[in-house]
Amino acid sequence: MKHLIFLIACVLPLVAEAQTKVYINAGHGSWGPNDRPLPTISHPMLASTGRPDTCGFYESNTNLWKCLELGRRLSAAGYKVRQSRVKNGPYPYVANAANAQKYNRPLSEIAAEADAWGADMFLSVHSNAASDGALANYPLFLYRGTDAEEACPGSVAMCKKVWPYLTEAMRSSIGFEFMSAYKTSTNIRGDRDFYHDEWTNSKGYVGYLGVLMQGIPGFLSEGYFHTYQPARHRALNEDWCRQEGIRYYRGICAYFGTPADTRGCIMGMVKARSSKMDGYDCYTYKPDTHDQYLPLNGTEVRLRNAAGEEVARYTVDDNYNGVFVFYDLEPGIYKVDTKVDGYITSTTSYVKVTANKTTYSLIYKYKGESTEFEPATGIAEVKGFAGIAPTDAYAVYDLSGRMVTEGLYADFSRTALPRGTYVIRSGQLSYTFNVDR
């Protein structure tokens, strides 16, 4: 017994030490002027502060949503995760108050913390900016070093591995974010060459970005441009941001060779083909893209599986993005139904979910009467009507006497039927039952 205890004591620390350590920095951290506050249609700048309310666009919000999702998933997959912050604030932001920078920590402090912890990977998450309203929208990964030489070995390999996962949305059939470039190439740069500048810290590290001034491999991601205004409206949707976090997660799992996700997601947008986004403030869109069309706030989105059973519902927010997201779905065919006042309730869109990917879906709606969704079918899940043996033949009738299905009773328990009341008959036997799922 003594030996057994000794063995356990020895083995456990070894297992723990083998965990890969990922340090995550969600860029910025308050609702102050340095957190890239920008106006959107539903959250304009307030006269009192010159910034939007805290549900408006702040990089500190959007980066945090991405990183919390990334951290949650990495932890669940067995990684050790440390985050530079897990909150935003404080509110209200008061310049020069003692706690004004509580979650907006100095970049040198974050870099040193990741270094001291001995992270295997460092990731800083941001979005990029040009002049507001510019049409540029593409990602950029920056590592410490020059374009020719990385300061921390492994950084470039990490960038190259994560890039295709991060850009999955942009490269999708609907071009969730269009890219003016880098559709087939990458935008991975050394910070010293990108900024044409460098400095040396007290440890002797040479670089440009303060947050990358550490001795461990990693990079800073500018996931998209929040100055491309339709993309900024999408970023107001927390799920849209969480999806970016999931894309980093998939890339990091690929880099470290841990098992890929066996499930997939759906992310889509609902828009009106008959109305354009002209005449709105802060919504300059790229011509000839779907961004010209009105996103349909408040759309109810219903997800059904191939059998027609309802799996989930999502209500599109009121922030002019039309975004809906469904998470962690078993691979297979799904049906997406949409309903919103003033538009014809959709005929079903079919979406194929693949493991470790997100499937993108752009749904256009047309003006007309909004009607209720057609009834979801349910799985009968009816077993053991006394007297019917598994090998007996059966038939099911609806209340009007129409036969809806027949077969061998052994197959009946997973039969999909619309909600309602039915009669099952087998030989001389007959029973009435309800499908209410």
**Region from 20-28, 84-92, 100-108, 307-315 binding Zn ion, contact rule CB under 5 A:** 20-28
Nearer to Zn ion, 27 or 245 (CB): 27
Number of shown-chain residues binding Zn ion (CB under 5 A): 3
CB 270, min distance to Zn ion, A: 29
**Region from 51-59, 270-278, 331-339, 380-388 binding Zn ion, contact rule CB under 5 A:** 51-59
Residue nearest to Zn ion as judged by C-beta position: 126
CB 28, min distance to Zn ion, A: 6
Nearer to Zn ion, 21 or 28 (CB): 28
- For Zn ion, which residue of 51, 66, 126, 192 counts as binding (CB under 5 A)? 126
3-state secondary structure the chain: CHHHHHHHHHHHHHHHHCCCEEEEEECCCCCCCCCCCECCCCCCCCCCCCCCCCCCECHHHHHHHHHHHHHHHHHHCCCEEEECCCCCCCCCCCCCCCCCCCCCCCHHHHHHHHHHHCCCEEEEEEEECCCCCCCCCCCEEEECECCCCECCCCHHHHHHHHHHHHCHHHHCCCCCCCCCCCCCCCCEEEHHHHHCCCEECCCCCEECCHHHCCCCCEEEEEEEECCCHHHHHHHCCHHHHHHHHHHHHHHHHHHHCCCCCCCEEEEEEEEEEEEECCCCCCCCCCCCCHHHEEECCCCEEEEEECCCCEEEEEECCCCCCCEEEEEEECCEEEEEEEECCCECCCCCEEEEECCCCEEEEEEEECECCCCCCCCCEEECCCCCCCCCCCCCEEEEEECCCCEEEEEEHHHHHHCEEECEEEEEEECCEEEEEEECC
Nearer to Zn ion, 126 or 335 (CB): 126
- For Zn ion, which residue of 27, 29, 52, 71 counts as binding (CB under 5 A)? 27
Residue from 361, 424, 29 nearest 175 by CA: 361
Nearer to Zn ion, 26 or 159 (CB): 26
191 belongs to the binding site for Zn ion (CB under 5 A):
no
CB 35, min distance to Zn ion, A: 8
CB 138, min distance to Zn ion, A: 16
Nearer to Zn ion, 59 or 291 (CB): 59
**Region from 122-130, 210-218, 304-312, 318-326 binding Zn ion, contact rule CB under 5 A:** 122-130
Nearer to Zn ion, 234 or 339 (CB): 234
Return the residues of window 295-334 that contact Zn ion according to CB under 5 A. Answer: none
**Region from 19-27, 69-77, 109-117, 134-142 binding Zn ion, contact rule CB under 5 A:** 19-27
CB 195, min distance to Zn ion, A: 14
CB 217, min distance to Zn ion, A: 21
CB 46, min distance to Zn ion, A: 22
CB 209, min distance to Zn ion, A: 11
59 belongs to the binding site for Zn ion (CB under 5 A):
yes
264 belongs to the binding site for Zn ion (CB under 5 A):
no
CB 236, min distance to Zn ion, A: 16
> Using CA atoms, how far apart are residues 236 and 95, in angstroms rounded to an integer?
24
Q: Where along the sequence are the contacts to Zn ion (CB under 5 A)?
A: 27, 59, 126
